[in-house]
Amino acid sequence: MSRRPSGNFETSYAQDIAICHTGFQQVVMILFLIALLIIIPLFSSSYILSVFNIIGITIIAAIGLNILTGYAGQINLGQAGFIAVGAYCCAIFTNHLHMSFWLALPLAAIITGLVGTLFALPSLRVKGFYIAVTTLAAHMIIMWLITHGGKVTGGVEGLASTPPQIGDFVFTTEQHYYFIIIGLTVLLTYAAKNLVRTRFGRAIIAVRDNDLAAPFLGINVFRYKVTAFFICAFYAGVAGALMASYYKMITPEYFPMLDSIWYIGYLIVGGAGSIVGTIFGVVFLKLLSQLVMWGGPLLGAIAPIFSAGAVSGLMQFTFGIVIIIFLIFEPRGLWHRWQIMLSSMRIWPFPY
Amino acid sequence: MRNKLAGAFILLLVIGLVTSIACAPAATGKPAAEKPAENVVITIGDLPNLTGAYAATQSCYVESNGGAVALANEKNYIPGVTLKYEWVDAATDPAKAMTAYKKLLAATPRPAVIIDHSTAIGTALKQTAAADKIPIVEGGVSNEILIPPGWVFYYGSPYPCEAGAYADWFKSQWKESRAPRFAALTWDLPYGRAWITDESMAYIKSKGFEIVGQEFIPAVPSDTTPQLLRLKDAKVDVCFGAMYPSALAVVLKDANKLGMIGTFTWGGVYAVNLIELVGYVGPLANGCTVTSTDILPTMWKEKAPLMQENWDKNGAKLAPATQFAFANAAERVVIGIGAIKSAVEKVGAKNVDGQAVYNALINMKNFDPWGTGAPITFSETKRYGQDTVFITQVQNEKAIQLGTARVPDLLPGGKDVPAK
């Protein structure tokens, strides 16, 4: 739907495929990036930066999942397992092999991508619900291998990861990690946004919409599905490597199966099939979890008649209620609602 | 119209969320007693697991720990200081616990010590706590937490050592001439597996046990029959493990269905609340034994009056079965309070920070945790507090304390580790 005022014409293909079409949009984007990359890290507290860091890592993994599930239509319930592969690869490379983080991260991402490709092979024969179960099995297999990895993975006791370093400068504070994580988030978001507008993006959308008709358009369905799995797992690997470095220590309990379900939840809330929607979904639910974390002690102080355990349990209801509200009132997610609001604002005060 | 209403609703929700985060005041637990304005305020942070797999046992932790802090203020335990208690739910999830930990660090004033109650979370926080210079008094333990010594201080005895103490006690009770058949029956979690080390298994074997298997059950089990059937085939005499009563109850009920009750004894580490277990399974709990770090609640009136007072004031809305866990958690906070008191005496209240409390902890010798447990001693190289445990057993659906036991040193390189 059009959000541009009438009278704006594109005169070249480059203008037509640009992300920011008007001067106003370009200015807003530049201001946003200045705020994100300069103002926030300079003036925010460690706690606020830690929230941004967690959101950044989650956005990377969620965008990867969106490419596979939102664009290619392949339900993936093993995203937490792929993140674990990236995290443990990074920890093993930096801890056991004393590799630099800057080398360990891309290597971990590539290896995770290849692991994702392995679990994509069944997609040649199965689809829909069955590929979802395959990815569920992927999570279980990965976690079993990690838990029984002996001294290589540290087993249930986990593995430490060395922090990134440039010369003598070691990245240790929230602010240091902010630049790495948010920088990578911006880069990978830009890459994903462009990827889905290429031939590859159109092909996987065609596979999602009708994988029986897609081959008749000359699309090698299997090849595109496997590539989508690779990209999804690659993004998960980056997120995992960042997680291992940021937390300094990882154990198998960082990657429960429930997290894979929550990643699907980010897509539902934000809007599957939209890169920006993914960001909306992650930010919304992560802020909600912060609200729940703040709300528990506050509610306990306001209503001491309830035990803290009861209050904390009540707060967890919030997540379920929010998901249900979105499924009923806005199944297409926050991104769709945002589109409608922008269109309404464009023609306000007229209703149409 | 409907679209606009739904859109407005979602927009309001989003604005409300962002505003709430921005405006949320620093949340506190139990309010401290009224103190003169000139008192220095020192914060104790707490990471109870009020949701997730540990919730059933740890649901009372805020009441117990907040109550202990409030009681310390009321009794003017540290003159010139008001202790402030801040808690955040760690949700039995290391990732959420890290966020909760960072939220605690943002409290004003910054916590001088943080109390934690999970092996996995303690392991996850070890490096971060050292970097942030915040000591953690921990309720969970593993070799990873203790070695090398860091900023995490475990209040009890290491689980491998508790397993050794249990083996010593069981062997002293064993009447048959053959070697008793021993198996692990434990949670498949860092907390559950922490006691299974080369050293502890070598020690148990050296005491004349025949090791017949290792069985692991999930954090929230629904059916443990496969594990129990394998143990039944092995004709196990004694099992040892680490899990919470909610999971052990499932095991005992399944064992009852298989006719195994009475054919083997289950022993566990301190965190198994026997009173809670009896509440779940009644007579099936008879014979279950734990190497406890605390005296029984029935002994509080005589030996731990402050803990009794804490329970009387703050336990009203809690189930009676939570008394055991209540004391466990409060003991850790009491250690933190004791360390703060030492730090105040050494550097003055205004200068107490994480480093000062850390220094106090590594110099803690024979500290009495309000009479609830064995004396606590840490050192530069020792990060666990207790060297004796109480052998506590369920008899006729009541938890009875049979006596104390020495805890062998079964950490890597420990003096009681059998020679290879």
Three-state SS at B371: coil
Q: Which domain holds residue B35?
A: 27-157+299-362
B382 found inside a domain: no
- The verdict on a CB contact (< 8 Å) between A308 and B50 is yes
Chain A interface, mutation test: which of B1, B15, B104, B144, most A Cβ atoms within 10 Å? B144
- The verdict on a CB contact (< 8 Å) between B89 and A156 is no
Q: Are B36 and B134 found together in one domain?
A: yes
B376 found inside a domain: no
More confident residue, A352 or A98: A98
Q: Are B170 and B287 found together in one domain?
A: yes
Q: Are B172 and B285 found together in one domain?
A: yes
Nearest chain B residue to A312 by CA: give it: B50
- The verdict on a CB contact (< 8 Å) between B144 and A154 is yes
Is B380:B149 a contact under the CB 8 Å cutoff?
yes
- The verdict on a CB contact (< 8 Å) between A158 and B190 is yes
pLDDT at position B28 is 42
Pull the structure tokens for residue B389: 């445990």
Å between A221 CA and nearest CA of chain B = 37
- The verdict on a CB contact (< 8 Å) between A50 and B48 is no
Is A180:A37 a contact under the CB 8 Å cutoff?
no
| Cβ neighbours of A300 in B, within 8 Å | 27, 29, 62
Nearest chain A residue to B319 by CA: give it: A307
Amino acid at B156: G
User: Is the pLDDT at B36 greater than 60, yes or no?
Assistant: no
Quick check: bond before A331 cis, omega within 30? no
pLDDT at position B18 is 59
Give the ranges where A17-100 is alpha helix by DSSP (H): 23-34, 40-43, 46-65, 79-95
Which residues are registered as beta bridge partners of B240? B184, B267
- The verdict on a CB contact (< 8 Å) between B105 and A301 is no
Q: Among partner residues B4, B14, B100, which is closest to A293 by beta-carbon distance?
A: B100
Q: Among partner residues A54, A301, A312, which is closest to B28 by beta-carbon distance?
A: A301
Three-state SS at B401: strand
Q: Are B84 and B209 found together in one domain?
A: no
pLDDT at position B52 is 84
State the burial class of residue A319 (Cβ atoms within 10 Å of its Cβ: 0-12, 13-18, 19+): middle
Q: Are B152 and B193 found together in one domain?
A: no
| Cβ neighbours of B100 in A, within 8 Å | 293
Encode pLDDT of A103-149 as tens digits: 999 999 999 999 999 999 987 788 888 999 999 999 999 999 998 89
- The verdict on a CB contact (< 8 Å) between A291 and B103 is no
- The verdict on a CB contact (< 8 Å) between A294 and B4 is no
| Cβ neighbours of A289 in B, within 8 Å | 96, 99
Which residues are registered as beta bridge partners of B403? B391
Helix (H) or strand (E) holding A287: helix A275-302
Chain B interface, mutation test: which of A243, A251, A342, most B Cβ atoms within 10 Å? A251
Q: What is the value of ipTM here, to two decimals?
A: 0.81
Is B214:B241 a contact under the CB 8 Å cutoff?
no
Please tell me the distance from the alpha carbon of residue A345 to that of residue B9, in angstroms, as a whole number.
16
Nearest chain B residue to A351 by CA: give it: B1
Give the ranges where A121-173 is alpha helix by DSSP (H): 129-147, 150-153
- The verdict on a CB contact (< 8 Å) between B131 and A248 is yes
B379 found inside a domain: no
> Could you tell me the pTM of the whole model?
0.84
A196 Cβ partners below 8 Å, 6+ apart?
A67, A71, A204, A205, A275
B412 found inside a domain: no
Is B86:B336 a contact under the CB 8 Å cutoff?
no
Please tell me the distance from the alpha carbon of residue B96 to that of residue A299, in angstroms, as a whole number.
19
Please tell me the distance from the alpha carbon of residue B111 to that of residue B122, in angstroms, as a whole number.
17
- The verdict on a CB contact (< 8 Å) between A307 and B318 is yes
What fold characterizes domain A46-347? ABC transporter involved in vitamin B12 uptake, BtuC (1.10.3470)
Q: Among partner residues A47, A158, A300, which is closest to B29 by beta-carbon distance?
A: A300
| Cβ neighbours of B188 in A, within 8 Å | 147, 156
Encode pLDDT of A25-59 as tens digits: 889 999 999 999 999 999 998 889 999 999 999 99
Q: Are B173 and B285 found together in one domain?
A: yes
**Domains in chain B, number:** 2
Q: Are B223 and B163 found together in one domain?
A: yes
B416 found inside a domain: no
Q: Are B123 and B177 found together in one domain?
A: no
Chain A interface, mutation test: which of B44, B47, B58, B62, most A Cβ atoms within 10 Å? B62
Which pLDDT band holds residue B29 (cuts at 50, 70, 90)?
A: very low
Please tell me the distance from the alpha carbon of residue B374 to that of residue B406, in angstroms, as a whole number.
11
Q: Are B241 and B279 found together in one domain?
A: yes
User: Is the pLDDT at B27 greater than 50, yes or no?
Assistant: no
- The verdict on a CB contact (< 8 Å) between A329 and B51 is no
CATH number, domain with residue B47? 3.40.50.2300
Q: Are B400 and B265 found together in one domain?
A: yes
Q: Are B106 and B196 found together in one domain?
A: no
Which residues are registered as beta bridge partners of B210? B181
Q: Are B400 and B290 found together in one domain?
A: yes
Encode pLDDT of B242-273 as tens digits: 998 999 999 999 999 999 998 999 999 888 88
Encode pLDDT of A233-243 as tens digits: 999 999 999 99
